[in-house]
Amino acid sequence: MDLDPAMMPLLFFIFVLAMLLGVELIRKVPSQLHTPLMSGSNAISGITIVGALIATGRTDGEMAVTVLGTLAVMFAMINVVGGYLVTDRMLKMFKGKDKRGGKS
């Protein structure tokens, strides 16, 4: 599945637009949510799991490809599972006035 050279500009196009979209989205995140933002975006960077899974499924390669792919699956999964869970754990603690029990 080698890359069609005509695809190259298209991939760059997607890359640049996604970058700009990212800048616009993240700019609006208030500083109090920066830590969950980091761990949440960290989980998203575990998207490399897609590449890792495809690598383990290659039939043309050898054992080494499967082993490398499996290791990649493992590390990406730490990122994905750990990242989402810890972000959820943090965000669960952010409560507004009305939702908190008791007075303060």
Partner 1 sequence: MNFELVRGICYIAASIFFVFGLKMLSSPATARKGNLVSAIGMLIAVVTALSAMAEIRWAWIIAGAGIGSTVGALAARLVKMTSMPQMVGLFNGFGGLASLLVGWSEFHGRWAGADATELFTMVTILLTVLIGGVTFSGSLVAYGKLAGVIAGKPILYKGQNALNSIILIAIVAVGVFFCTRRLGGVEASGLAGVYVALVVIAAMALVLGVLSTIGIGGADMPVVICLLNSYSGLAACAAGFVINNNVLIVSGSLVGASGIILTNIMCKAMNRSLANVLFSGFGSVTSAEGTGYQGEAKPVSPEDAYLILEAARSVVFVPGYGMAVAQAQHVVRELGEMLSENGAEVKYCIHPVAGRMPGHMNVLLAEANVGYELLVEPQDVNPTMKAVDVAIVIGANDVVNPAAREDRSSPLWGMPIVDVDLSRTCIVLKRSLRPGFAGVDNPLFFKDNTRMLFGDAKASVTQLVSEFKR
Residues in 80-99 at the binding interface with partner 1, rule: CB under 8 A: 80-97
Interface with partner 1 in residues 17-56 (CB under 8 A): 18-23, 25-56
Interface with partner 1 in residues 50-79 (CB under 8 A): 50-62, 64-66, 68-79
Q: Rounded distance, CA 23 to CA 63, Å?
A: 41
CB contact burial 56-92 (16+ within 10 A = b; e otherwise): beeeeeeeeeeeebeebbeebeebbeebbebbeeeee
Q: How far is the CB of 13 from partner 1 (least distance, A)?
A: 10
Q: How far is the CB of 102 from partner 1 (least distance, A)?
A: 9
Radius of gyration of the chain measured on its C-alpha atoms:
19
Q: Does 6 interact with partner 1 (rule: CB under 8 A)?
A: no
Q: Does 5 interact with partner 1 (rule: CB under 8 A)?
A: yes
